[in-house]
């Protein structure tokens, strides 16, 4: 008779795994990919593919080099790649996209210990590095429908139009909602992002707290600053950031109140940059700055263990 | 305020299976430790003839329990076996003569007051039959009975697979209520709460029918969320009282007793037959037909599997109890114990351990902990050997229900780290205490020296 397994309880485990969670995020990102192909043409899919593939290759290569366990099977590199691509203009030169993936995977993720150990969101940090390094191509916005040659027609994003006060270039609510305006690959179509967000909430991958509070803060502050709240919520990278990046597990707070504070903080910083900063958009910076505060927010909002009577 | 917990697969395949009494095996091995506390002392010797219900091990010390023979026959030897936790304990091996003759001295105990009631419970050898194995008479022997204002009868049975408590309620519901009357009479308690999960319809109906005829019995139907049957969880979810850190149910005026334990006490007081057999669920992916059986205590797991209808395949893992908190059985020679409420035979596929991957900080462990602990931070503090942090994180509150390990998508061994963390915290606290005492001593010595120097 063969030996019986001896182990400590429990002997049952959930079927949910890291890989399944990442797969859910990828599924939630797909509507936005489809929307980008319609809005910007097939090159958007090329950029997404290049980013995802290079992220996988960098993760594999780095882990090989460091003799760490190969983790590309958990699909987290694909999520990072897709999110990075969603934050780039469709006209981005592919080598720059590959460079961004290198920053995201190697510098921000692996050098800090890999999945779950990084304190900053890889896609957002890579995007900010690229904005500094390639400021020209990172702001080369293409207006939908003119995607023949990327740098032929430059256009204003809804936010830069609003910042400059060029009302004629400001798209309608409907165009904002459906994504028919200039911007990054994955951020324009609010409808697709909301579908993805609702899917993630239903699948309990994320909670509603951060996205809702983030958006509500931006809307409320816009209202008090005399701007159009709906326009502010629907434009720029707010929905993409609030739903997919401000809910990243390892770089955002875990407690309910922590998530609320994180959302408020992101919203306030976004508004500060949008209305008073030099840049037209501030979602990426707001999330990165709040990433740094995450450990403190977690500490501040730590849940008290449930026990009655006098605590020792 | 809600307590956390998880939805586990129920797998209550046997909840409608009437329990069947198994044929007596050729030999039984009865260990002297089937309870929490000091081992019992063997009072028979090799060659002795014993009968069903005869005392073979006597409670030794304050927290211990009597042990009785489950068969009639001859003592083959007094041996030593290894328990699941690795400790060696003596055991009595008895060859059965197959006659199952009842011991002559078995008569219903005479009870007149609280003390004789507790004495009877002690003599029955009963321990917490929900799985804990804590000697029941110790729990019931409350010094100040005025402190107790409610008894909660634990009928939640939240572990997957197990239905032995369910069958108790259906088949022995009368004894449950006789037990209630005993506690009312001898302990002066007037409020009784039966806490059960909503997935036990038949048992619930039986209990409701009986409760209608009895005064002061409330039935709380709770959602089927594991660990509903955890003592502290059940108290909170029925009467909203929270036990202080390091405290007992008695600190909030409550006694919690398992439904099968209570039914057994009532049955013992009626018949005088001590705890010699146990209704238990035999289930799991390696079992041919899941069922509930009444097995003599000391029957080997191999005999049990055979008598209960056999196995489909070689089991890869066998459990005493359910899959959430059950203990692995080291070999098929191990016996059925007093507190065995189920034996689960798992095939290779069911027993396969999941692959452990990196923590992704999703926070699911903390979100599902009934006591709102943070296993992720506890694991970090344990790794850093940070006793102060473990104290702050209240790892001592952990009841090892396993929710955190269950929900972890990275399948990290969180409850295992909690257990280690609890030990580390104990060491840290005693070292801290010793340091404190040492400091005091040094100070007094120094003060004395200073005084003398002044003179």
pLDDT score of A145: 60
Nearest by Cα to A115 from B90, B412, B217: B412
Q: Which residues 248-307 on chain B approach chain A with CB closer than 8 angstroms?
A: 251-252
Q: Which residues 362-381 on chain B approach chain A with CB closer than 8 angstroms?
A: 362-363, 366, 370-374
Going from N- to C-terminal start, the domains of chain B cover 20-25+112-271, 364-435
Query: How many CB pairs below 8 A link A and B?
Result: 150
Rounded to whole angstroms, the Cα distance separating B388 from B380 reads 12
Residue A140 pLDDT greater than 80, yes or no: yes
pLDDT score of A157: 82
Rounded to whole angstroms, the Cα distance separating B337 from B295 reads 10
Residue A248 pLDDT greater than 70, yes or no: yes
Average pLDDT over residues A142-151: 55
Rounded to whole angstroms, the Cα distance separating A9 from A123 reads 38
Edge to edge, what strands does the sheet with B217-222 contain?
B217-222, B192-197, B150-155, B254-258
Q: Does a structural domain hold residue A174? A: yes
Which residues on A lie below 8 Å from B324 (Cβ)?
Answer: 9-12
Question: Domains in chain A: how many in total?
Answer: 1
Q: Does a structural domain hold residue A102? A: yes
CB of A235 within 8 A of CB of A159?
yes
| B417-427 burial: b if 16+ Cβ within 10 Å, else e | bbbbbbebbee
Looking from the CA of A217 toward its CB, the CA atoms found within 13 Å total: 25
Which residues on B lie below 8 Å from A1 (Cβ)?
Answer: 314, 332
Which residues on B lie below 8 Å from A76 (Cβ)?
Answer: 360
pTM of the full structure: 0.90
Looking at the partner chain, which of B314, B370, B409 has a beta carbon nearest the beta carbon of A21? B409
For residue A108, what pLDDT band results from cuts at 50, 70 and 90? very high
Whether B245 contacts chain A with CB within 8 A: yes
pLDDT score of A25: 97
Which residues on A lie below 8 Å from B346 (Cβ)?
Answer: 11
CATH number at residue A164: 1.10.3430
Q: Does a structural domain hold residue A305? A: no
CB of B49 within 8 A of CB of B99?
no
pLDDT score of A6: 87
pLDDT score of B1: 63
Looking from the CA of B37 toward its CB, the CA atoms found within 13 Å total: 23
Burial class (CB in 10 A: 0-12, 13-18, 19+), B125: buried
Task: Please judge whether A12 and B241 are an interchain contact, meaning their C-beta atoms are less than 8 angstroms apart.
Answer: no
Task: Please judge whether B415 and A9 are an interchain contact, meaning their C-beta atoms are less than 8 angstroms apart.
Answer: yes
pLDDT score of A151: 42
pLDDT score of B93: 95
Q: Does a structural domain hold residue A9? A: no
Q: Kindly identify which residue of chain B lies nearest to residue A11, measuring between CA atoms.
A: B323
State which residues form the domain around A252: 18-300
Looking at the partner chain, which of B319, B331, B358 has a beta carbon nearest the beta carbon of A115? B358
pLDDT score of A64: 95
pLDDT score of B25: 93
Q: From first to last of its 455 residues, what are the pLDDT tens digits of chain B?
A: 678 889 999 999 998 889 999 999 999 999 999 888 899 999 999 999 999 999 999 998 889 999 999 999 999 999 998 877 778 899 999 999 988 899 998 999 999 999 999 999 999 999 999 878 899 999 999 988 888 999 999 999 999 999 999 999 999 999 999 999 999 999 999 999 999 999 999 999 999 999 998 888 999 999 999 999 999 999 999 999 999 998 999 999 999 999 999 999 999 999 999 999 999 999 999 999 999 999 999 999 999 999 989 999 999 999 999 999 999 998 899 999 999 999 999 999 999 889 999 999 999 999 999 999 999 999 999 999 999 999 999 999 999 999 999 999 999 999 999 999 999 999 999 999 999 999 999 999 998 998 888 87
Between A156 and B106, residue with greater pLDDT:
B106
Q: Kindly identify which residue of chain B lies nearest to residue A73, measuring between CA atoms.
A: B357
Residue A153 pLDDT greater than 70, yes or no: no
CB of B312 within 8 A of CB of B282?
no
Q: Does a structural domain hold residue A312? A: no
Task: Please judge whether B372 and A306 are an interchain contact, meaning their C-beta atoms are less than 8 angstroms apart.
Answer: yes
Looking at the partner chain, which of A9, A302, A307 has a beta carbon nearest the beta carbon of B371? A307
Report CA-CA distances (Å) from A125 to A60, A68, A246, A292.
Answer: 20, 23, 13, 12
Q: Does a structural domain hold residue A4? A: no
Q: What ipTM was assigned to the predicted interfaces of this complex?
A: 0.87
Residue A277 pLDDT greater than 60, yes or no: yes
Residue A147 pLDDT greater than 50, yes or no: no
Looking from the CA of B19 toward its CB, the CA atoms found within 13 Å total: 24
Beta partners for residue B320, in sequence order: B327, B343
- What does the mean pLDDT of chain A come to? 90
Residue A152 pLDDT greater than 50, yes or no: no
Q: Does a structural domain hold residue A138? A: yes
pLDDT score of A311: 43
Rounded to whole angstroms, the Cα distance separating B453 from A209 reads 68
Tokens of B360: 């992704």
Looking at the partner chain, which of B245, B326, B353 has a beta carbon nearest the beta carbon of A9? B326
Residue A281 pLDDT greater than 90, yes or no: no
Q: What is the percent of chain A where pLDDT is above 90?
A: 72
Q: If one looks up domain B20-25+112-271 in CATH, what number appears?
A: 3.40.50.11540
pLDDT score of B39: 92
Residue A150 pLDDT greater than 90, yes or no: no
pLDDT tens track for A167-218: 777 788 888 888 888 889 999 899 999 999 999 999 999 999 999 999 999 9
Between A4 and A244, residue with greater pLDDT:
A244
Q: Which of B248, B360, B432 to mutate to test the interface with A (most CBs of A within 10 A)?
A: B360
pLDDT score of A132: 92
pLDDT score of A309: 62
Alpha helices in B172-319, H assignment, sequence order: 173-187, 201-212, 231-239, 259-271, 301-307
Burial class (CB in 10 A: 0-12, 13-18, 19+), B62: exposed
């Amino acid at each position: 008779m063969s030996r019986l397994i001896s182990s400590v309880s429990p002997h049952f485990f959930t079927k949910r795994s890291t890989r399944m969670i990442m797969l859910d995020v990828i599924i939630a990102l797909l509507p936005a990919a489809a929307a980008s192909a319609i809005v910007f043409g097939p090159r958007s899919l090329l950029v997404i593919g290049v980013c995802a593939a290079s992220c996988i290759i960098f993760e594999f290569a780095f882990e090989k080099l460091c003799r760490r366990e190969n983790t590309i099977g958990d699909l987290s590199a694909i999520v990072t790649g897709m999110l990075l691509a969603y934050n780039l203009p469709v006209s981005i030169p592919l080598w720059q996209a590959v460079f961004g993936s290198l920053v995201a995977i190697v510098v921000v993720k692996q050098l800090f210990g890999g999945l779950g150990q990084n304190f900053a969101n890889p896609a957002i940090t890579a995007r900010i590095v690229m904005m500094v390094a390639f400021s020209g191509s990172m702001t080369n916005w293409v207006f939908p429908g003119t995607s023949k040659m990327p740098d032929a027609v430059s256009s204003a994003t809804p936010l830069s139009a609003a910042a400059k006060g060029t009302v004629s270039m400001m798209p309608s609510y409907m165009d904002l909602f459906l994504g028919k305006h200039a911007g990054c690959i994955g951020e324009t179509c609010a409808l697709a992002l909301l579908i993805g967000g609702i899917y993630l909430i239903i699948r309990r991958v994320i909670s509603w707290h951060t996205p809702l509070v983030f958006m509500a803060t931006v809307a409320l502050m816009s209202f008090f600053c005399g701007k159009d709240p709906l326009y502010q919520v629907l434009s720029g990278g707010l929905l993409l950031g609030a739903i997919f990046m401000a809910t990243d597990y390892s770089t955002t707070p875990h407690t309910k109140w922590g998530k609320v504070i994180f959302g408020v903080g992101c919203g306030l910083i976004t508004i500060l940059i949008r209305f008073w900063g030099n840049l037209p958009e501030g979602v990426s910076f707001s999330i990165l700055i709040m990433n740094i505060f995450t450990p403190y927010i977690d500490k501040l909002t730590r849940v008290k263990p449930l026990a009655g009577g006098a605590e020792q | 305020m809600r307590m956390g917990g998880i939805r586990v697969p129920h797998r209550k395949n046997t909840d409608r299976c009437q329990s069947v009494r198994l044929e007596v095996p050729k030999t039984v091995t009865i260990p002297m430790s089937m309870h929490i506390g000091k081992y019992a002392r063997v009072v028979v010797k090799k060659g002795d003839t014993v009968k069903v219900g005869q005392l073979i091990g006597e409670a030794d010390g304050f927290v211990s329990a009597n042990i009785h023979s489950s068969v009639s026959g001859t003592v083959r030897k007094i041996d030593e076996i290894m328990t699941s936790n690795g400790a060696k304990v003596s055991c009595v091996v008895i060859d059965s003569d197959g006659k199952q003759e009842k011991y002559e001295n078995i008569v219903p105990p005479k009870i007149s007051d609280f003390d004789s009631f507790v004495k009877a419970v002690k003599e029955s050898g009963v321990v917490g039959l929900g799985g804990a194995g804590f000697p029941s008479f110790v729990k019931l022997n409350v010094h100040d009975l005025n402190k107790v204002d409610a008894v909660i009868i634990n009928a939640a049975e939240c572990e997957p697979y197990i239905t032995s408590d369910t069958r108790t309620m259906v088949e022995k519901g009368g004894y449950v209520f006789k037990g209630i009357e005993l506690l009312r009479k001898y302990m002066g308690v007037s409020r009784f709460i039966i806490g059960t999960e909503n997935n036990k319809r038949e048992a619930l109906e039986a209990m409701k029918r009986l409760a209608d005829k009895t005064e002061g019995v409330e039935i709380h139907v709770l959602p089927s969320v594991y660990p509903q049957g955890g003592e502290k969880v059940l108290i909170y979810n029925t009467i909203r009282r929270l036990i202080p850190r390091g405290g007992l149910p008695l600190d909030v005026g409550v006694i919690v007793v398992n439904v099968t334990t209570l039914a057994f006490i009532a049955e013992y007081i009626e018949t005088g037959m001590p705890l010699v057999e146990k209704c238990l669920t035999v289930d799991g992916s390696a079992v041919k037909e899941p069922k509930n059986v009444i097995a003599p205590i000391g029957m080997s797991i191999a005999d049990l599997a055979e008598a209960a209808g056999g196995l489909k395949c070689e089991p890869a893992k066998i459990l005493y109890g359910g899959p959430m908190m059950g203990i692995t059985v080291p070999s098929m020679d191990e016996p059925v114990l007093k507190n065995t409420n189920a034996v689960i035979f798992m095939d290779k596929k069911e027993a396969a351990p999941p692959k452990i991957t990196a923590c992704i900080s999703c926070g699911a462990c903390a979100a599902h902990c009934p006591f709102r602990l943070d296993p992720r931070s506890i694991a970090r503090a344990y790794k850093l050997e940070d006793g102060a942090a473990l104290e702050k994180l209240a790892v001592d509150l952990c009841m090892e229900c396993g929710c955190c390990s269950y929900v972890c998508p990275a399948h990290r061994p969180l409850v295992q780290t909690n257990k280690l963390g609890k030990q580390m915290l104990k060491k840290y606290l005693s070292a801290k205490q010793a340091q404190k005492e040492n400091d005091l001593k040094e100070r007094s010595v120094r003060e004395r020296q200073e005084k003398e120097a002044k003179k």
